[in-house]
Structure 1
Amino acid sequence: MDFMLDILKWIQTIRTTFLTEVFTSITILAEEYVAIAVFCIVFWCLNKKWGYRIGFAYLLSGVTNNAIKEVFQVERPFVRDNELVPIRVETATGYSFPSGHTQGISALSTALATIIRKKWFTALSIILVLLVAFSRMYLGVHTIADVSVGAIFGFVCVIDANWMFDYVEKKQKAEWLLFLFIPIALGLIWLPSDDYIKAAGTIISFLIGYVLDQKYIKYEAKSPIGKQIIKFVVGMTILIGIKILGQKLLGETMVADFIRYFLIGAWMTIGAPLLFRAMPSRK
């Protein structure tokens, strides 16, 4: 284990102002705001089926990542060795293993790659995952083991998510996905953490939204370009409002976080589609 900390110490010696700005920007690409924006563009404006697969893979990865963190409880490298000076430490929440940023970008990129199916995009996705992984090490918040396992788990979560969606679509039993509530709920009881609760709240409302859409809403993403722009701007404005106002009105307890992220997931998959369906389109 010491050699992994030694790697981070060496990386720390090559830091420069320019490189810090570069790798800080790269690590931001793996944060939830980017994933939410990508999902909303795809789901609201391009293709509902693609959106559900991307969103489910990413959220499954998030729940899995935070559950594993709570099981292993590996402290951050800068906690284990005070010679390490982390950068942007406010984003290094919870335990260290596996890397949430790396696993998240791995899941998001892999999900997109399975849809786009172009060699250039697959290559770009691999490069992005590697860059994010190195950025987490450069910033001193993860070891090589953290990012390596995170990248692998992100990939595996996409395979699992696609298999589950293929199965329920073939059987035409969308409601079967609701059985996932059982392990998620057990995680809320046995593995409570701020990040797990946020991920759990979102995936629960996401799955409810998926079932309701298959049975009743039947949202269609296709619209004229003008309406697509309005949909995205209005949808994201309300989503950000839910996030900000929810924090101010509900506070920052674990229960409040669950409710806030449940509402965010519900807005993305239920509220917004109902609103967009009711909006008139100009011919």
Structure 2
Amino acid sequence: MEYLLEMLKWIQSIRNPVLDQVFTSITVLGEDYFAIAVLCLILWCVNKKSGYVIGFAYLTSWIFNFSLKEAFKIPRPFVLDKSIIPIRPETATGYSFPSGHTQGISALSTAAASAFRRKWIYAAGIILVILMAMSRLYLGVHTLLDVAIGAVAGFAWVYAANFVFSYAERTNRKALLLILFIPMLLGMIFVRTNDYYKIAGTFSSFIIGYLLDSRYIHYEAKGLIWQQVIKFILGMTVLIALKIIVKEVLGETLTSDYIRYLIIGFWITVAAPLLFNKMFAAKPYDAADKVNSQI
């Protein structure tokens, strides 16, 4: 462990204002706004099924990450060594191992690459994971071991998540995904952090929204370019407004964070798709559509 901390001290010695700004900007990509924007863009405007596959892998990866943190209980490097001065420590709550930012961007990138199978997505994903890992080291909030295991865990978890989601789709037993509420709720008992409750709220509404869409909404992401632009801008505007307003009304507690992200998740998966269907007069969903959506 000592050599891992010494590495952070050396990185700290080469900091400068330019690199501070660069790596602070990079680390933001590992936070909720970026991931939510990517998932909404895919779900609303590109391919609904891929959006759900990617979202499922990403959200469950975070639950897995928090479980690992709670199991290992490794303190942050700046807690272990007071001479390490973190930058933007508000992004470094809870335990250190493995890196949540790195695992999250690894899972998001791997899930997107797996869903769309485009070389440029694979390349962009690798670059993003490396940059994210570097940013967490530079900011002094993680060790090399934290980010390395985070990257591997995110990559590996996607394939496990895809297997589970694919099984539920293939066998038409989508309601089986509700079983995952059990470990999630257990986590809410033992992992008493705002970040975990936010993920739990989003995951709850994400799964329920997925089941409601499969049975009642039947949203399709197809549309003209101008329609897609309107959907994304309108959808994100309402989402950000909800995020701010609900926070002002309920404050910041574990329960209010869960409720806030539950509402945001329902907007993403239920309310926004219903609104977009009405706005752009989506044609009635019929058997032919169902066959085409499964091809």
Same fold flag (TM > 0.5): yes
Deviation at 1:116, TM superposition (A): 2.7
Q: Map of 1:129-278 to 2, 5 A cutoff?
A: 129-278=129-278
Query: Which stretch shifts more, 134-143 or 14-23?
Result: 14-23
More displaced stretch, 12-21 vs 242-251:
12-21
Residue number in structure 2 paired with 1:24: 24
Give the distance between the partners of 2:117 and 2:14, measured in 1 at CA: 37
For 1:196, the aligned partner's letter is Y
Provide the C-alpha distance between the structure 2 equivalents of 1:169 and 1:149, rounded to a whole number of angstroms. Answer: 30
Structure 1 residue 281: Cα displacement: 5.6
1:51-90 map, 5 Å: 51-90=51-90
Letter in 2 for 1:97: F
CA contact (8 A) 2:75 2:95 kept: yes
Root mean square deviation of aligned Cα: 1.3
Q: How far apart, in 1, do the equivalents of 2:47 and 2:116 lie?
A: 12
> 1:156 and 1:246 mapped to 2: Cα distance?
35
Give TM-score scaled by structure 1 length.
0.96
Residue ranges of structure 1 left out of the alignment (5+ in a row):
none
Q: SS of the counterpart of 1:255?
A: helix
Give the letter aligned to residue 246 of structure 2: G
What residue number does 1:34 align with? 34
Residue number in structure 2 paired with 1:126: 126
- For 1:149 and 1:69, locate their aligned partners in 2 and report how far apart those are by CA, in whole Å: 12
The CA deviation at 1:66 is: 1.5
Alpha-carbon deviation of 1:119? 3.1
Once the two structures are superposed, residues 94-117 of structure 1 have per-residue CA deviations (whole angstroms, 9 ceiling, x without a partner) of 211111110110011101111232
In structure 2, the gaps of 5 or more residues are 283-295
* Whole-angstrom CA distance in 1 between matches of 2:185 and 2:205: 13
Specify the code of the residue in structure 2 equivalent to 1:54: I
Corresponding position of 1:5: 5
Q: Percent identity?
A: 57
**Length-normalised TM-score, structure 2:** 0.92
- Counterpart secondary structure, 2:15: coil
Q: Is the 8 A contact 1:94 1:195 kept in 2?
A: no
Matches of 1:120 and 1:232, distance apart in 2: 23
Distance 1:245 1:73 in 2: 34
Q: Is the 8 A contact 1:42 1:50 kept in 2?
A: yes
Aligned residues: 282
**Whole-angstrom distance in 1 between the partners of 2:139 and 2:170:** 44
In structure 2, distance between residues paired with 1:23 and 1:136: 8
Counterpart check, 1:108 vs 2:108: yes
CA distance in structure 2 between the partners assigned to 1:124 and 1:214 by the alignment: 31
